[in-house]
Structure 1
Amino acid sequence: MIKVSVLYPNSESATFDMGYYRATHLPLVAELVGEALVSAHADLGIAGGAPGEAPAYIAMGHLVFESVESFQKSFGPHQGEILADLTNFTNTQPTVQISEIIQ
Structure 2
Amino acid sequence: MVRITTLYQNTEGAHFDFDYYVDTHLELIRQRMEGAGLVGMEVIKGMSNPDGSPAEHLCIFHIYFTTLEAGLRGIEQHGEEFAADIVNYTNIEPQVQIGAVVHRYTAS
TM-score tier (shorter): over 0.9
Q: What one-letter code is carried by the residue in structure 1 that aligns with 2:16?
A: F
Q: What one-letter code is carried by the residue in structure 1 that aligns with 2:79?
A: Q
Give the count of matched residue pairs.
102
Query: Identity over the aligned pairs, expressed in percent?
Result: 30
Matches within 5 A, 1:28-39: 28-35=28-35, 36-39=37-40
The equivalent residue for 2:13 is 13
Structure 1 unaligned residues grouped into runs of 5+: none
33-42 or 58-67: bigger deviation:
33-42
How far off is 1:31 after superposition?
A: 0.7
Structure 2 unaligned residues grouped into runs of 5+: 104-108
- Cα deviation 1:23-81 (Å, max 9, x = unaligned): 00111011111232110110100101312x11110101110001110111111111100
Could you say what the CA RMSD is over the residues aligned between the two structures, in angstroms? Answer: 0.9
C-alpha distance in 2, partners of 1:19/1:89?
A: 9
Say which SS state the counterpart of residue 75 (structure 1) adopts: helix
- Cα deviation 1:63-103 (Å, max 9, x = unaligned): 00011101111111111000000000000001000111112
The equivalent residue for 1:50 is 51
How high is the TM-score relative to the length of structure 2? 0.90
